[in-house]
Structure 1
Amino acid sequence: MKSTYKITTLGAAMAAVLLLGACSNETATGTTGQTNPPATGQSTAETGTETTTTDPTASTGTTDSSATTENEATGSTTEMGTDAESTSSASATRPEKETFELMTEGTLEKRTAKLQQGEGYSMYVFDAYTLDKQKSRLQLTAFPQYHVEITKLDSKANIDELRKQGKEALKKYGSAKEYSGDQLYEDPLVGAKLYLQVSSDKGTYDYVVWEAKDGSQYTFLMIMPQGEASETFRLPAVTSLSTIAADSAS
């Protein structure tokens, strides 16, 4: 009887061990099952982060930025449209502003001029100067006695007749001298078809026949009385005159 009890007890003990082992396996399996979702969730989160960079929302953000850029561009266009009101007939191919290099008191200076509209033409005008459209006159704003009277010529204008007219226009200031070629070296109006000048202690007075790059022709009657402004008026004025161009519609 004792021997049978020992075997039974041993068998029960082994069964208990096997049962415990089975429970351990189930527990381990359950734990593994609980670990996987967080790992999967983490992977999804990482994928989601990567997706965010190419997410349609990001594209939408980019579109919004583009829209903003378009709005800014539209604003710029609107601003130029406002400026274009004063140069409504000016050539569309010419920019609103241009920068020029002027030699001032031995120093090369960069100055910006703005495109302005005259009667049937346009030109670049510097600050402190005004293009009076009604009078067809470029003048020093603060001292309008320093000015250039601009006349647009017919394409059939005769240079000999213009020479006579120029001398007559300058007659009240003195006897006109004619300059050309090397005598006008490095002057903005160096290519003038005719350049007449009267210079005295009362001032300097020029009569110029100018053919623009587009083939349109003009006369410039330049009035520069003796005075402080006479030293600074001419260069910016003739630089502006050299940029004159006819309106495309004229």
Structure 2
Amino acid sequence: MLVAAAVCPCPPLLVPELAAGAAPELDTARAACTDALGVLAAARPDRLVVVGPADESGHWTYAQGTAGSFRGFGVDVDVRLGRAAAGQETLPEPSRGPLPASLAVAAWLLERTGWADAPIEGLAVEPLTVERCIEIGRDIAARSERVALLVMGDASACRTLKAPGYLDERAEPFDASVARALGKADMAALKTLDIQLAHDLKASGRAPWQILAGAAEQADLSGTLLYDDAPYGVGYLVATWS
């Protein structure tokens, strides 16, 4: 059963070496992510499942200890999805390649906070249907008596003229609706997010958020919104369910 969840954004710019001189602009977001991971640790889970958007089409699983890197973004920073330790249960080796960007950011956050509280599994997903997301979430929740979720994904990328997706007037109200749903642990609101609108607004977190909604169906969790802003014209949200 799901006992806690943390929702974090997944821009590689969270890694200070990549952001360089602009790194302080995301200090508040980093601090919120650290606080969110603290909630996961406090829940004392038997297993941590990290879910994020895939870099390509597919549905890929990643074992504890899988390597990732930000070298493709021009910085010499390598990460691993937790420590590969003898006797720890892991998933099979990934179907292809290193960690996708979203899970590499998660791995960096976990390393930064010294995560050692439970074995880790990684899952990267393409923009699946709502029904498939719910199904995956239910399966995750059934894997252990005490499961925690780290859900990676950004809100819209269309909040300003300089945003990656340019300005779209629908972006701000969409992000506000997601922030309310995450802050209230509102599973119904997450399940009814408009798939086409999320696609148009380049909201990479849509499928991971709906996986969270499926995983939380049998849990009695309360939500807290820790961070809600749009630096660089992209909506970044940090929330906890516990």
Q: TM-score, normalised by structure 2?
A: 0.23
Higher relative CO (Cα under 8 Å, sequence separation at least 6) belongs to 2
Bigger proportion of residues as strand: 1
Q: Compare CA radii of gyration and give the structure with the larger one.
A: 1
Q: TM-score, normalised by structure 1?
A: 0.23
